[in-house]
Chain A
Amino acid sequence: MIAIGARAPVIPTFGGSASSYACERANRLFCANWVSRNWSSVLWPALRQHIVLSVVAVAIGFALSFGLALLAYRRRRLEQPVILISGVLYTIPSLALFEILVPFKPLGLSARTAEVALVSYTLLILFRNIVTGLREVPDEVREAARGMGMTNRQVLWRVELPLALPSIIAGLRIATVTVIALATVASYICDQGLGVPIFAAIQDGVFKTELIVAGGLAVALALCADGLLVLLQRALTPWARRETSRAT
């Protein structure tokens, strides 16, 4: 017979020595001590993994969407199929998508599986925004560009893409925030990201500090990423801000 007290502590031990603080024993919601004690061993690694998971997902998603969008922009027939497929991917619940992906050999219970799922959620948003941005370039601007002797490639890189930037960055903002939120679910299949402390807290149902801190970090990360993208847009599209200050 096993002594209950020895094997199943009331306070969970996830992430290291958690049970020795007074506030934990009092079972309050938030324990600042725990945060400072576990920052470098639990929270910071989780945050770092979360950032990597998100950045990789958005980067791969952007590369794929960009390629597909350029194709669909040149060949309109491709647009609807891409929207349909990425739309279907977008609507699959993330947990279900993990279940579908895990049995595949090269994926399994790994960060790769999580990335595949996260990437699939960025495709619809990014693809649509890139294509819309390109299509919204005024006809007369395109006409003038061609008429002055730009090749198709020059028109695309010097005129159409710069003008599509606001729409593209708007897409990146939505995709990034979505991925940062969804990446917490990745801990369901791999031991990475801010989802790890959140799941741990949910599972033992008593100690909530790690849930609150990890959740808060995810929100803060999303806000920071969004803010950075706004700054990026301002830096890249100085012309878009002048519209309000029309001087005649």
Chain B
Amino acid sequence: MPAPDTARPEGTSGFAAAAPLELQRVTKRYPGQAAPAIAELSLEVPAGEVCVLVGPSGSGKTTAMRLINRMIELTSGDILLGGRSVLERRPDELRREIGYVIQQVGLFPHCTIGENIATVPRLLGWDRARIAQRIDELLELVGLDPEQMRGRYPVQLSGGQQQRVGVARALAADPPLMLMDEPFGAIDPINRERLQDEFLRLQATVRKTIVFVTHDIDEAIKMGDRIAILREGGVLAQYAPPAELLSRPADDFVAQFVGADRGLKRLALTTLEDVDLIQPNGLQPSGRRVPLRSTVRDALSMILTAGGRPLTVVDENDRVAGLVTLDLVGGLLGAGGALADHDDRAGAGDGGAADGGAGDGGAAGGGGATA
């Protein structure tokens, strides 16, 4: 495993390999407190995947994240980055290999955007030309104009722009691991969604191992390849990919945390591309049009606002791909359907949420269970 040196960048365009992360029975106990903040937490994050830590306040999700780059020292257990224990590294050297993004961004107000992004490369002693090139490359990567932004100061940027710079700064030295603590938490809903989408596109390019902390289960489902749900006292309740978490919650706590509308949330994980659409069989479809890339949840919402009438699904070239109807969506969730609820225990109560919601029109977002 080429782990220890993965953060050393190999040329300005190449992104260094991501490294796997493993938490082994990690415990954090603060002196004078009976209960541990983190209790025996074990997690494995494969290289290049996004692991979201989610849980109510007091569940220690941020603490767990800060143990990884040793902003907080763990009490027992071990954390391996690329197969090597973080405990044998000098904390400041370790942190230069781990990208770090926080909710309040924390850009240096006295440094220009370019200087902010150059922080870690400078600590690592890169030469001037390479740093300048890297700054421009990263600004472009996060969708900001290098010419315009390089020389500005953070106060001259909007919140969304600042967080983009925050992400660029964390990526500067090509770290094999990124830690992101509610990076979009302080941003308004519209910009948050835009940043989330940008982030997913970015991650598809850079393929970092990422630990992402949020308290928002919807964000967790959207961003995570795997989600770790923590309960109070830093105990791991469930660690699974989003679909599994929604269809098979480990216990009542998880079921409650993911919400009664988890049926709807599952619909949001699937796009119409993955659904067997009804073929129009030569008939000219007349319903409202919906792009093939939309989620099933959005399609359902549109069907409901269209009074239950079927929608015409079209691809990028505006060619008709098929029809989607209320029954078709219902069938996906029903017994034996592609998205069927595997949770035997939950039965009618939870499982009916999506169907119930479908029945009463206005509940597309709220998931009111009328069943």
The interface of chain A, by Cβ under 8 A from chain B, is 138, 140-151, 154, 159, 162-163, 165, 237, 239-240, 242-243, 245-248
Cβ of A77 to closest chain B Cβ, rounded Å: 19
- Asked if residues A148 and B120 are in contact (CB atoms below 8 Å), the reply is yes
Known contacts A162-B110, A163-B109, A237-B110; decide if A147 and B156 are in contact (CB<8 Å).
no
Q: Are B155 and A143 in contact, CB atoms less than 8 angstroms apart?
A: no
- Shortest distance from the beta carbon of A87 to any chain B beta carbon, whole Å: 31
From residue B151, how far is it (CB to closest CB) to chain A in Å?
A: 11
Q: Which residues of A contact B71 (CB under 8 A)?
A: 143, 146-147
Contact B105–A149 (Cβ < 8 Å)? no
Contacts of B106 in A (CB 8 A): 138, 140-145, 147
User: CA A70 – CA B178 in complex, angstroms?
Assistant: 33
In contact, A147 and B158 (Cβ under 8 angstroms):
no
Complex: A247 Cα to B170 Cα, angstroms: 24
Q: Which residue of A lies closest to B172 (CB)?
A: A148
Cα distance A165–B108 in the bound complex, in angstroms: 14
Q: Which of A142, A148, A242 contacts B100 (CB 8 A)?
A: A148
Residue B119 at the chain A interface, CB threshold 8 Å = yes
Q: Complex formed: what's the CA distance from A145 to B69 in Å?
A: 13
Interface residues of B in 112-167 (CB under 8 A from A): 119-120, 123, 152-153, 155-158, 166
The answer to whether A149 touches B102, judged by C-beta atoms less than 8 angstroms apart, is no
Listed by A's residue number, 8 A-B pairs whose Cβ atoms lie within 8 Å are: A143-B71, A148-B96, A149-B93, A150-B123, A159-B108, A239-B109, A246-B155, A247-B156
Which residues of chain A have C-beta atoms less than 8 A from B156's C-beta?
242, 245-247
Most buried by A among B69, B94, B110, B170: B110
Residue of chain B at shortest CB distance from A146: B71
B264 interface residue, CB < 8 Å from A?
no
How close is A137's CB to chain B, nearest CB, in angstroms?
9
Contact A148–B119 (Cβ < 8 Å): yes
Is residue B289 contacting chain A, with contact meaning CB distance below 8 A?
no
Tell whether, in the assembled complex, residue B155 and residue A242 are in contact, meaning their CB atoms are under 8 Å apart: yes
Partner of B108, one of A145, A240, A246: A145
Chain A residue with minimal CB distance to B166? A144
Quote the shortest CB–CB distance from A96 to chain B (angstroms). 42
Residues of B within 8 A of A (CB): 69, 71, 91-97, 100, 102-111, 119-120, 123, 152-153, 155-158, 166, 169-170, 179
**Are A243 and B102 neighbours in the complex by a CB distance under 8 Å?**
no
Distance, CA A138 to CA B96, complexed state (A): 21
- Asked if B111 and A239 make an inter-chain contact with CB atoms under 8 angstroms apart, the answer reads yes
Specify which of A143, A154, A159, A237 is in contact with B102 (CB 8 Å cutoff): A143
Q: Assess whether A144 is in contact with B120, with CB atoms less than 8 Å apart.
A: no
- Asked if B111 and A149 make an inter-chain contact with CB atoms under 8 angstroms apart, the answer reads no
A149 to B109, CA, bound (A): 18
- Docked CA distance A237–B100 (Å): 26
Q: Which residues of B contact A151 (CB under 8 A)?
A: 92
10 closest residue pairs by CB, A with B: A144-B106, A149-B96, A149-B95, A140-B104, A147-B100, A140-B106, A239-B110, A149-B92, A162-B110, A239-B153
Known A-B contacts A141-B109, A163-B110, A248-B158; A147 and B102 likewise in contact (beta carbons under 8 Å)? yes
Q: CA A154 – CA B122 in complex, angstroms?
A: 12
User: How far in angstroms is the closest Cβ of chain A from B99?
Assistant: 8
Which A residues are CB-close (under 8 A) to B158?
A: 248
* CB of A158 to closest CB in B, whole Å: 8
B92 near A150: Cβ-Cβ < 8 Å: yes
Contact (Cβ within 8 A) B123 A154: yes
A245 vs B157: C-alpha distance when bound (angstroms) = 11
A139 CA / B286 CA spacing, docked (Å): 58
Residue of A nearest to B116 (CB): A144
Minimum distance in angstroms from A169 CB to a CB of chain B: 13
What residues of B have a CB within 8 angstroms of the CB of A140 in the complex?
102-106
The one of A143, A149, A165, A243 in contact with B123, judged by C-beta atoms closer than 8 angstroms, is A149
Do residues A146 and B95 form an inter-chain contact, with CB atoms below 8 A?
yes
CA distance A237 to B155 in the complex (A): 13
Contact partners of B123 in chain A: CB under 8 A: 148-150, 154
From B93, B105, B110, contact of A144 by CB (8 A)? B105
- Bound-complex Cα distance A38 to B95 (A): 66
Inside 8 A of B108's CB, which chain A residues have their CB? 141, 144-145, 159, 163
Q: In the complex, what distance in Å separates the CA atom of A119 from the CA atom of B289?
A: 80
Contacts of B92 in A (CB 8 A): 149-151
Q: What's the minimum C-beta distance from B256 to chain A, rounded to whole angstroms?
A: 32
Residues of chain A lying within 8 A (CB to CB) of residue B104 = 138, 140
A110 to chain B, nearest CB (A): 42
Give the distance in Å from the alpha carbon of A245 to the alpha carbon of B97 in the complex: 36
When distances are taken between beta carbons in the complex, the residues of chain B under 8 Å from A141 are 106-109
Query: Given the complex of chains A and B, what is the CA–CA distance between A240 and B153 in angstroms?
Result: 9
In the assembled complex, the Cα of A10 lies from the Cα of B18 at a distance in Å of 92
Q: Which residues of A contact B169 (CB under 8 A)?
A: 148
Complex CA–CA separation, A237 to B108 (angstroms): 13
CA of A242 to CA of B153, assembled, Å: 7
In whole Å, how far is B81's beta carbon from the nearest beta carbon of chain A? Answer: 14
Distance from B148 Cβ to chain A, minimum over Cβ atoms (Å) = 10
CA A117 to CA B90, docked complex, whole Å: 47
Check A144 against B107 for contact (C-beta < 8 Å).
Answer: yes
